[in-house]
Structure 1
Amino acid sequence: MTASVEPPHDGPSETLQSQSVDTHGPPISMEDPEDTPPSHAVDIAPRWNESKTMIWRVTATCYCAFVMGANDAAYGAIIPYLELYYHQSYTIISLVFLSPFVGYTISAIINHAIHHRFGRRGVAIIGPACHLLTFAVISTHPPFPVLVIMYIFIGFGSGIQNAAWNVWIGNMANSNEVLGFFHGFFGVGATVSPLIATSLITKADWTWSSFYYLMTGAAAIELIYATTAFWPETGSKYRQALQSSATRAQGNGALSQTRLSLTYKVTWICAIFLFLYGGIEVAIGGWVVVFMTNVRHGSAFASGMTETGFWLGITMGRFILGFVSPRVGEKLSIALYIIIACALELVFWLVPQFFVSAVAVSLVGFFLGTIFPCVVVVATRLLPKDLHVAAIGFAAAFSMGGGAVFPFFIGAVAQAKGVGILQPVLLGMLVVALGIWGTILRTPRVGQAHQV
């Protein structure tokens, strides 16, 4: 069987037939089964469709992304009803954005340890189980402090899955396209979630908490789907895969990989960039309904559909631009997408028409959508393979942390200044994100991207 190799840089892919490529010397034959490839050899990248098992696993990760997207987008649809139900201010209600940050932080610290001890099987069980527990409790419309605490479990479950599946897919052949589909299913979940929630609440007279009956069922399917797909992926199998790693020789402890990954400036650049990106994405999705209702004076249903349009834009961007970005170059394409998003954000802010704002925010979503998978691909090419789980897990947790901190910050400011503050804050975040990404454009490739 011919297997495609994902190159560790922005160069063309190669095809290997029963040989491993030494990046510092001639090819090493693998005809002798006792030959062991050197630690710096390029691994043969698996393809998503090389077997029924791989297809099952890839579709399982896509379904996990669907559930994570449905959860993240549900905030925007239910926040107006949380405010009415719990009789709390924007600042207090915004704690539902902030509390997952605790879970994301924990996941960033112990993500590699979970892989080391339980393998991907552990991720496939723990992540969906956290979702199932949280959705089941929220469906009972608990007291507000309990609601805030339960979202910590959401942060932890989503954090370990986001890191694990991004790394796993990021090391495949055609990783940009496959990651585009993975994140595209996140967008599908984020698109249908506010649509269903808004329709059920405004048209069918459901309570906001009743929507979480559906989310509980979705999480139960997620748990079964992921567990059956990754059951053979044990901790011992994961440790064996890293056995010949050069970095592993520098420290056998699971947490040492996280500490080592943090000595690479690429990890920090990607983490800070994704912190801002996650904040922008969730802030728009979380507050656009309130903005369109209070500032653009739209109806509850029309404003809810605006959030659906934003997530639909993200979904289409991930499915479509995932094929464009590799041809432009991931580093350059990210910069271009941010510049276009800044221009569209100006239109969203300065043209006070409901329809124009709705179209502009959908297009912002379209150009922002593929940024996350592009960053994952760039990181996998700039960092040693055995640090991918730790480094990308840390950066992904930072992204979700941004999705917790900035919507909370905007809610607190909106309490004092009004929700109209959303647009200048978002534009400023986009400009800062562009400046941070500019620092990675000249970052050397793996083997040269040295530690800080």
Structure 2
Amino acid sequence: MATFFLIIIYLAFISLGLPDSLLGTAWPVMQKDFDAPLETAGLLYMTIAAGTIVSSLASGAVLKRFGTGKVTLVSCIMTAVALLGFALSPSLIWLVLCAIPLGLGGGSVDAGLNHYVAEHYKAHHMSWLHCFWGVGATLGPIVMSSFMTGQNVWRDGYLTVAAIQFGLVVLLFVTLPLWKKAAVSQHKDVEAEREALQLEAADARKHAINPLRIKGVKLALASFLFYCGVEATMGLWGSSFLVNVKELPAATAAQWVSLFYAGITIGRFISGFITFKVNNRILIRTGQITALAGAVLMLLPLPPVFTLAGFMLVGFGLAPIYPCMLHETPVRFGKNHAQTIMGYQMAVAYTGSTIMPPFLGFLAASSTIGVFPVVLVLSAGAMLLFSEKLNAYLRRKPNHNQVSVKH
């Protein structure tokens, strides 16, 4: 039962990653079909991300009332219908309208499945879960590029991904009665862990303070902001940069973007093993330096093959940063405050994904998409700077688990 449900959840996370990379991959062709300004993609992305934030914030109450199985099913229906709407949209206004349920559905699936795995499975399964998101994000551009070759029929790409989502809807509907049974069967395995977490939560209430007043928290939040800014900007504008600046065919550009996501996926799979020998802080620093090097490689006036290497380097670099920063939270700020700070970090991460891509879109509209690698270098550099400032502060602390508070 446990293995069967993990397969379903992993499939759901692959489907969660599939739509995330479609808009940026298809936009160079979609822009021409709709005769839209370049920055319109940023507005669409902001609409999707805003829906994700709203549904994530509301997911706690919704999951408690309806259960993970029903929420996941309804959310997948929303994303499937939204993707179908993208494929059939006759105008830009329809794209905007379809972006709303796409964001709402995606956020609910993300929060619901993360919550379910955290509640009913052991911790190491969470790492592999996010690796499967990368599988979906990698497959999205591959699916889209296969349809854009020759005829530039991006609508068929969206239609194919929508069909995959509807297939998952059928699977979730058939297995819906089993979710509660699976939860009961897994309950005993995590009973001790849940009791420990409840004791920690009770202890945290005794020492309640505003987590934003804890020294170093704002530096960590800034690192999350710029991390997600780099990842989202690469996914949304990478293809447009390759088409308009490097003069690659749209289908080839889509394949190159898929290699960026492949870098994240493979990097996370490998880093999961490396964590047995190397601590989080070293992995975070190494990843940030690698991502910065990849961004610099794209900035330099070199042949396209170096740009491809830059895309892959940024993907490999980003791979360990996000999961390692999340895992490092209790070490940095103490277990009593980790849960609350984790929520802040997730909120700021979504904010970075929401504001950074549209910001680049507006910059590109007033200049050229050639600013893409410049923004990446500045964002990756800022991420490294804030992270190293946090490390420097933590090295000065006599005991990392003794939280200092700003007065």
Distance 1:265 1:148 in 2: 40
Q: Are the equivalent residues in 2 in contact too, given 1:131–1:157 (CA < 8 A)?
A: yes
Cα distance, 1:160–1:395 mapped onto 2, change above 3 Å: farther
**Higher helix residue share:** 2
Deviation of 1:361 after TM superposition, in Å, equals 1.1
| TM-score, length of structure 1 as denominator length | 0.74
Q: Are the equivalent residues in 1 in contact too, given 2:38–2:361 (CA < 8 A)?
A: yes
Distance 2:228 2:269 in 1: 19
Cα distance, 1:361–1:268 mapped onto 2, change above 3 Å: same
Match of 1:48 in 2: none
Q: State the percentage of identical aligned residues.
A: 21
Distance 1:427 1:373 in 2: 22
Deviation of 1:174 after TM superposition, in Å, equals 5.6
| Alignment partner of 1:308 is 2:258 | yes
1:415 to 359, 365, 372: 365
1:262-290, CA deviations, whole angstroms, 9 ceiling, x for partnerless residues? 77677765544333212211211221222
Match of 2:271 in 1: 321
Deviation of 1:145 after TM superposition, in Å, equals 2.0
2:129 to 182, 197, 206: 182
Deviation of 1:85 after TM superposition, in Å, equals 1.7
Q: Are the equivalent residues in 1 in contact too, given 2:14–2:132 (CA < 8 A)?
A: yes
Cα distance, 1:295–1:206 mapped onto 2, change above 3 Å: closer
Deviation of 1:391 after TM superposition, in Å, equals 5.2
Match of 1:134 in 2: 82
Distance 1:363 1:378 in 2: 23
1:184 alignment partner AA: C
Cα distance, 1:342–1:135 mapped onto 2, change above 3 Å: same
Cα distance, 1:306–1:394 mapped onto 2, change above 3 Å: same
Deviation of 1:167 after TM superposition, in Å, equals 5.3
**Equivalences, count:** 386
Match of 2:17 in 1: 69
Distance 2:65 2:32 in 1: 44
Q: Are the equivalent residues in 2 in contact too, given 1:97–1:405 (CA < 8 A)?
A: no
Cα distance, 1:133–1:398 mapped onto 2, change above 3 Å: farther
Match of 1:340 in 2: 290
| Alignment partner of 1:435 is 2:395 | no
Cα distance, 1:87–1:274 mapped onto 2, change above 3 Å: same
Match of 1:81 in 2: 29
- SS of match in other structure, 1:139: helix
Distance 1:68 1:289 in 2: 20
Match of 1:230 in 2: 179
Match of 1:356 in 2: 306
Q: Are the equivalent residues in 2 in contact too, given 1:170–1:377 (CA < 8 A)?
A: no
More displaced stretch, 139-148 vs 183-192? 139-148
1:371 to 296, 303, 321: 321
Cα distance, 1:208–1:113 mapped onto 2, change above 3 Å: same
Deviation of 1:223 after TM superposition, in Å, equals 3.5
Match of 2:99 in 1: 151
1:186 alignment partner AA: W
Q: Are the equivalent residues in 1 in contact too, given 2:219–2:387 (CA < 8 A)?
A: yes
Distance 1:439 1:116 in 2: 39
Cα distance, 1:422–1:271 mapped onto 2, change above 3 Å: same
| Counterparts of residues 31-430 of structure 1 (less than 5 Å) | 52-53=1-2, 55-166=3-114, 169=117, 173=122, 175=124, 178-203=125-150, 205=151, 207-225=153-171, 228=176, 230-232=179-181, 233=183, 244-245=198-199, 247=201, 270-379=220-329, 384=335, 388=339, 392-430=342-380
More displaced stretch, 114-123 vs 207-216? 114-123
| TM-score, length of structure 2 as denominator length | 0.82
Distance 2:334 2:163 in 1: 38
Q: CA RMSD in A?
A: 3.4
1:169-217, CA deviations, whole angstroms, 9 ceiling, x for partnerless residues? 5686562xx44422222221121211111121224x3632222222222
1:325-374, CA deviations, whole angstroms, 9 ceiling, x for partnerless residues? 34211122112210122122212211421111112211221121222222
Deviation of 1:418 after TM superposition, in Å, equals 0.5
Q: Are the equivalent residues in 1 in contact too, given 2:51–2:107 (CA < 8 A)?
A: yes
Deviation of 1:385 after TM superposition, in Å, equals 8.2
